[in-house]
Structures are given as C-alpha cells and as structure tokens.
Amino acid sequence: MRPPWKFQQDAVHATTIHSQIFSPRLSISAQEILAYNALMLSKELLEILVCPACKQALEYRQNPESLKCTQCHRVYAVKDDIPIMLIDEATIEAS
C-alpha cells in the first residue's frame, strides 16, 4: 500500500499538469474557431473556386454555410467544411 503523502504528491502533480494544459491563455472559444474556419474557406478556396456551370465567381454565405454564384445564382452547400460543387446538387435562387 502506498503512503498517504504519495497520493497527495500525485494530486498536486496532476493539478499542475492540468493547469498547464488547460491554461486560460491557451483557450479558444467556439466562435473564434468558427470564424477562423469561415475565413479559411472564403479566403483560400474562394480564390480558386468558380461555379462549375458558368465559371463565374462565388460568394461565401455563412448562414446556412454555402457558396452562391454571382452570375447564375446557383447555391452550392458546404458540408463539414467541404464545398459540394456538383451542378445536380446545387439549388438555384432568385437574385
């Protein structure tokens, strides 16, 4: 059997490690993560993605997450940060 002071040392060590891992200065809110992901999608992908139907620019929309063509008004869904760029699965919205 371990002496009681050994358990106390383990508890102090675990608390120290926990505070180092979950330090408030390292924490990121869910909103910051979503904003970062949105910027990643719109900034990097929008530079290279075009509408597969008419080859025009796309605009990023957050709610619901999608890409809308500026020319033919097709809307391509974004699922799990992956744009679904299939013409058959796109919806057409009024301008």
Pairwise CA distance, residues 69 & 62, whole Å: 14
Q: Are 56 and 71 in contact (CB under 8 A)?
A: yes
Residue 33: domain span: 4-92
Q: What is the CATH number of the domain that holds 34?
A: 2.20.25.10
pLDDT, tens digit (0-9, with 9 covering 90-100), for 18-66: 555 555 554 556 666 555 555 456 577 778 899 999 999 988 888 888 9
- As for how many domains the chain has, the answer is 1
Q: Is the pLDDT of residue 78 over 60?
A: yes
> In sequence order, what E strands does 1-88 have?
58-61, 66-69, 74-79, 82-83
